[in-house]
Amino acid sequence: MPVRFYNTKTRNKDILQPQTEGHIKLYVCGITAYDYCHIGHARSALAFDMIVRYLRYRGFEVTYIRNFTDIDDKIINRAQETGATSEELAERFIAAFHEDMERLDVKSPTLEPKATEHVDEIIAMIQTLINKGFAYQAEGDVYYMVDKFENYGQLSGRNLEDMQAGARITVNEEKRNPMDFALWKSSKPGEPTWDSPWGPGRPGWHIECSAMSRRYLGDSFDIHGGGKDLIFPHHENEIAQSEAATGQSFADAWIHHGFVTIKDEKMSKSLGNFLTIREVLEDYEPEVLRLFVFSTHYRNPLDYSSAAMQDATAGLDRLYTCLAEIEGHTGTGSDDAKSVASQKDVDTIGLLPERFQKAMDNDFNTAQALGHIFESVKVLNKITQALPTEPASKDLLLLKQGAETITELADIIGVLKKDPISYINEKKQQLLKDANLSSDAIEQMISERTEARNQKNWARSDEIRDELLAKGIDLKDGPEGTTWKVK
RNA sequence: GGCGGCGUAGCCAAGUGGCUAAGGCAGCGGUCUGCAAAACCGUUAUUCACCGGUUCGACUCCGGUCGCCGCCUCCA
C-alpha cells in the first residue's frame, strides 16, 4: 500500500511518488523570528515532524529543509521598539524556538537556512526575473509582475480579476498592477541593508523561500509545506517566482495544515488570543501537547482549551499506566498455565502495526492511528487484569510484545518516550509537591489507617482515607497492603 | 463579493456507497472491596445540521438551505 496524502495543488489525495526513488525532498516554511512561538507554530512543527518521522519509518530518505525568516518588517519594527538590532532580535528568538523544539522533542530538520545568509542567491534570482521580463524596478524597489505569469492563482484557486474586485489592496503608486509584490525593498535609514544592483535594500518575504529551496533541493522537488494561511499569497508567489526563474515545475505537491483555534477563532498575534509554547508547557507535559495535537487530523482546525488538554492528559496517563502495569510483570511465567488471552486478543495486538500503517498511509491520519493504539491498550489491560498468580508465559510474552509495538509506533507521534514506571512516579512526585504533601506523611497516615482497619475500626479508617482524598490522594487496598496515588 | 473548509453521541474525534458508525474524555450499571479507588466488563448516536435528488441501497455522491470557520492584508 502506498502513502497517500492530500495535495493542495491537485485537491486530491495523491500517491506519494518522489522524483528520486526512495528519497523525498521536503521544504517547509518556518517561522519569522520576532517573538516567542505560540502553539499554532508548535502544531506546524509537530505536524511536519510527524510526517517526516512516518516517511522515514516507511523507509524513505527525507531531506527536510525548514527556513527561518530573519529579516522582515515585523523584525525591524520589534527591534526598533526594543532597542536591539534586527540581527540580535532574530538570533534571540531563533534560540528560543530551538529551546521550544527541543522540549517538544521535535527532530531537527536536515537544514535550517536563514534568509540573511542567502542574499546572494536571492539577488541572483531577482536579476533573472528582471532579465526574463517578470520583474521591474521602481524607485529602488523591485516588483514581480503577476499578470506575466500565466498560472498565477492556480494553487489557491483564484484569478486576478476576482482578487482585485475583492479590493483590500494597499495603494502603491509604484506598482504597475496592485497585485504585484515586492522582490526587493529599498531600505530606509537605520534598517538592515544589503547592496544590490538596484541600490541598498533587503529581500521581500516570498523570494527567500524560492531561493533557499532551489539552493538546497533544486529547481523541482517533491513536497512543499506550511500553514493553510500561507497558500495565498506566500506559496502562490513562490510558485510564480520559481517557475518564472527556472522554467521548471516547482514543488510536485503541497501540504497545508490547519490552524490552532481558541473558542473556534484562529489563534494569532493580531487577535491577541495566543498562548506561547512555553506558557503551555508550564502547565502540561510536552507529550500531552503532542497527544492533543495528534488527536485531530492535521488539516482540521484544532481547538485549544484546558478541557481538551485535560482529556489528553488522561489519555496519556492511560497509555503509560498500561505500559507500567506490563513492565511490572517481571517473571517469565509458566509453560503449563492456561492462557487468558483469546485468539481475538492475539489478533488485535498482532494486527496493530498493519492497522496503524493503514491509517497513517491515508493522509497521515494520526487520530485514527491513535484510536488503534488505544484499542490495543484496552486488550492489554484486559489481559493484565485477568492474569492469575502463576501466569502463562505465552500471555506475558504477548503483553511484552504488545507494549513494545505500542511504544515503537507511538514514537512516530512522539509520545511514550519515557520509562512508564518513571513517568508514573515522576507524576506522583510532582503532584505531591503541588499538594504540599510528603510521601512520609502519607505513609504514616496509611500505617495508622492499616492499624485501624486491623481493628475493624472502619470509621477511623474512612476518616483517614477521606482526609487524604480531600488532598487528592487516592488509596488503594490490595492483597499486599495499601498503595496510594495522586488523583 | 470571490475562493476553500467544516457541521457525526454530554464533550473531543475517526470513518465508509451496503458488513457492529473507531477511539478518547465524562456519565451510568456490574465485577472487585468492610466501604472505596484503580483496573476490567457492560452500557450511552436505529443515527451522522436541515431539505430534496441519484441509487436496489447514502451518513458517505449531486443540488439547495441554515449555521460556523479560514483565506483574499502580516500570519503556522
Instruction: Quickly give A265 CA vs B66 C1' distance in Å.
Output: 20
- Please state, as a whole number, how many other Cβ atoms lie within 10 Å of the Cβ of residue A483: 11
User: A381 beta carbon < 7 A from strand B?
Assistant: yes
Nucleotide nearest to A258 (CA to C1'): B76
Q: Which residue is nearest to nucleotide B72 (CA to C1')?
A: A163
> What is the nearest nucleotide to A153, using C1' and CA?
B3
User: b/e string for A379-391 if b means 16 or more Cβ within 10 A?
Assistant: bbbebbeebeeeb
Strand B contact at CB of residue A450, distance < 7 A:
no
Q: Does at least one atom of strand B sit less than 7 Å from the CB of A328?
A: no
Question: What pLDDT is stored for residue A173 in this prediction?
Answer: 67
Closest nucleotide C1' to the C-alpha of A453:
B34
Q: Which nucleotide is nearest to A268 (CA to C1')?
A: B75
Report how far residue A394's alpha carbon sits from residue A352's, in angstroms, rounded to the nearest whole number: 18
The pLDDT score that the predictor gives to residue A308 is: 94
For A214, phi then psi, to 5°, come to: -65, -45
The reply to whether A343 Cβ lies less than 7 angstroms from strand B is no
* Closest nucleotide over all strands to A178 (CA to C1'): B73
pLDDT of residue A167: 53
Among the four given CATH numbers 3.30.499.10, 1.10.730.10, 1.10.1510.10, 3.30.70.2750, the one describing domain A315-420: 1.10.730.10
For residue A415, give the 3-state DSSP assignment: coil
CA of A231 to C1' of B73 (A): 14
Nucleotide nearest to A41 (CA to C1'): B76
What is the model's pLDDT at position A282?
Answer: 94
Which positions 237-296 on chain A have a beta carbon less than 7 angstroms from any atom of strand B?
257-261, 264-270, 274, 295-296
Comparing CA positions, the residue from A154, A163, A42 lying closest to residue A104 is: A42
Angle A104-A252-A52 from CA coordinates, rounded to 5°: 20
Distance CA A259, CA A228 (A): 7
Q: ipTM above 0.85?
A: yes
What pLDDT, on a 0 to 100 scale, did the predictor assign at position A170?
53
Q: How far is the CA of A283 from the C1' of B30 (A)?
A: 36
* CB of A342 lies under 7 Å from some atom of strand B: no
Q: What is the pLDDT of residue A185?
A: 95
Cβ A458 to strand B below 7 Å: yes
Q: Is the CB of A460 under 7 A from strand B?
A: no
CA distance A310 to A18: 40
Which residue type is seen at A459?
A
Bases along strand B below 7 A from a protein CB:
1-6, 11-16, 22-26, 33-41, 68-76
Question: What residue segments make up the domains of chain A, in order of their start?
Answer: 4-279, 315-420, 437-486
- How does DSSP assign A19-67, residue by residue? SBTTEEEEEE---BSSS--BHHHHHHHHHHHHHHHHHHHTT-EEEEEE-
Task: Answer whether any strand B atom is within 7 A of the Cβ of A302.
Answer: yes
CATH T-level fold of A4-279:
Rossmann fold (3.40.50)
Chunked into runs of 10 residues, chain A (487 residues) has average pLDDT values of: 92 93 97 96 98 98 98 95 95 98 98 97 97 94 94 90 61 80 93 95 96 98 96 96 97 96 91 94 95 96 94 93 90 86 90 94 96 94 89 92 95 95 84 76 86 87 82 74 74
Q: Is A95 exposed, middle or buried (0-12, 13-18, 19+ CB in 10 A)?
A: exposed
Q: Is the CB of A85 under 7 A from strand B?
A: no
